[in-house]
Structures are given as structure tokens and as C-alpha cells.
Amino acid sequence: MDISIQKVNSANSELWLVTAGTIQAHFSDQESAIEFATKLKERVESPHELPPEAIERMAKELGAATEEEAV
């Protein structure tokens, strides 16, 4: 996922915009924007495990799809 930070000048102040995919978050200071973007990047890139039930369900669905294709 592409995560970016950019400075946005408004009429009254400067804002910092963090963009991640289609999500945008505004911050009043650069430090907060960087902290948010860094934490988001860590969470997105961290390993995620699927529950065993989800793995079993996916295996069954893939097996059924493979059997249908063989017919």
C-alpha cells in the first residue's frame, strides 16, 4: 500500500495530508502526520495470520472449484 504525506496550504493555516490508498487523514502538524503514517505502515506490513477456520474454508472452496474445472 502506498502511503504518502504532503503539505497542504489552506487560507488560514498549513495542514498535512496522509494518503493511504483511497483514505485521507488531515493533521495540523508534520510530526503527527509522520507518526500516523509510520504506525500505519508498520501495521500494514506486519504479518497477519488467518484463523484456522478461514484456511479450512478456503481450502474447501478451492478444492470444489478445482473439481468443477476438471469436469
Stretch 60-69: mean pLDDT, rounded?
Answer: 71
d(CA 50, CA 57): 11
Could you tell me if 2 and 20 are in contact, meaning their C-beta atoms sit under 8 angstroms apart? Answer: yes
* pTM, two decimal places: 0.65
Could you tell me if 7 and 30 are in contact, meaning their C-beta atoms sit under 8 angstroms apart? Answer: yes
The contacts of residue 51 (CB under 8 Å, 6+ apart) are: none
Q: What is the pLDDT of residues 13-63, one digit of tens each?
A: 899 999 999 999 999 999 999 999 999 999 999 998 889 999 899 888 888
Res 40: pLDDT: 95
Res 65: pLDDT: 64
Length of the chain: 71
